[in-house]
Structure 1
Amino acid sequence: MQDICFSPAQTLRCPGGRVLDLRHPQVMGILNLTPDSFYEGSRVASETELLRRAEAMLSAGAAVLDLGSYSSRPGAEDISIEEEKRRLLPALEAVRRAFPEAFLSVDTFRAAVAVEAVAAGADILNDISGGTLDADMLPTAGQLGVPYILMHLRGTPQTMTQQTHYEDDLVLELTRYFRDKLTTLRTHGVTDVVLDPGFGFAKTPAQSHELLRRLPELRVLNLPILAGLSRKSMVYKPLGLQPEAALAGTIALNTLALRGGARLLRVHDVAEAVQTIQLVSNTFPPTPTPISP
């Protein structure tokens, strides 16, 4: 894997010459534009509520806001491209107008949506499928020239719960998957990449916990790691709870993710995640990672 070079390793170069520095862990706040997100408390019903929530997240310390209009919960409805755009683009434009300096990510696996989202002000593409659900996505990411979040997924949101059997070691399979996808991304000119192991996506709660425990093994790829653990079933199901009661468990697992090397926490509860980062950093000061020339 030494032949795969992405530079600089701990920064994301975004449109307008802005740089998102991930040498120190940061928080990505989730803005759900879907009516059926698994966590009801994250759903946004109006532009006023959207902007209020975006402002609150930024004020609490979010470095990135992640907007998504296609629900990826298990068994979610497969909406059309037109419906995804209808939900996403006006909201994205409103947030960009209100917060021109914010880093904005769009959660989509569709190239056509990505093109219009970047034109509307998105800085980062967050693709749950790693290009597997739209063959045009990886070439489009290269053409758009924005950072790309590469997640591991098998199947689709509608079928992924039946895709949890792994012939090989789980982390070994993820490492191979990322290695192959990074090679493809490099051929398309994408050099600013974040890895997302996809907790809960085609993984049982037990597999997700194993993946969290072994997260440091993915650091061999020398790229920032995103941990999306917030209020997921791996948090609340072992405790016999529902997503609404899973904040404390989320904080606990985010702490483990930070100790495993995560540089970006994707969360519903920004203030708590920022505090977690501060306390973990105070207890275990990170070794500074130099920015590559």
Structure 2
Amino acid sequence: MKDYHVEEKTITANSIVVSLPEPIPNEGCEKYNLATTIYNISMSYLTCLDNDLNKSKEFNVQTYKRHYEFQNLTPFTKYTIKLALSNFYVDKLSMGLQFGADVKLTTTGKLNAPEDVTVQVLMPTLAVVYWMPPKKLNCIAVKYEVYWMQLPNSMQAIIPFCFINPIDKPKRTFDGKFFTIIRLPLPKQKYKIYVSVYPTVHRNFFNASLPKTVYMSESNNLTLSGVSTNGMYISWIPSANLTIHTGLHYILEYKNDAMQKWQKVNNIEKNNDKVTYYIENLLPRTAYKFRLILRYPEHMEDYIWPPDGKEF
């Protein structure tokens, strides 16, 4: 039994063209007119299921020509192609097809880009990025990277792209989206963020989503609204829809250079949107630092503002 197989002719991102062999007559059949050859081609590839299992998909075609083009394929995907020759008599006698050796061919091109990218601000320097994986991934092992660029204001030069380490196995939400948390360097800045994907074995074949622009807002500054010999009034206006705390009030802490630990302020008054703290029993002619302990609704970690304290 002769081993017939296809030969690669051309490959693109979405198609494979193969050439098909001319049949070799069996010994003693050369002087007879042979029946028209039918080329039976089987193509298969792997597709991934949600439970991390792989499923093989296969389809079969027939042709009388010496070449065949597979169309509408997925970029950067490995396909297995097998060939069996038959004719009218093989079909008439219901003889089984004898397929030759597997030929594995991989389409070129890039992966489809991640889709539906969204960015949710958790804290002034913390955000979560969501995205949907590329369509028709076909079990290719991939890595993701989340890139960000700080957009310049009138006083800044353009800041180069930065990226976090490759994300081998991003976490997934109940609706199938991937997500990761990124930490950005500065609040009160605009950032352009996008998600890149590439095969683990071919870093240069990356593709990126459309960018998203997000503004990382910051809490309002603390204000010294009153002072006495041994006391201070510190006021603050909470940002809308950003800050809450596990208790009923925002926490203000204070200390001077001689104090080892921050002290909590308990005397608090709210008037509409403004919060005023009264700190008593302070040392005269002494500078104190103040900081807020805030809890943002979307993230269960405390945020300290200002990070180094505000001195009055």
Q: By percentage of residues, which structure has more strand?
A: 2
Q: Which has the higher contact order (CA 8 A, sep 6+)?
A: 1
Q: TM-score, normalized by length of structure 1?
A: 0.21
Q: By percentage of residues, which structure has more helix?
A: 1
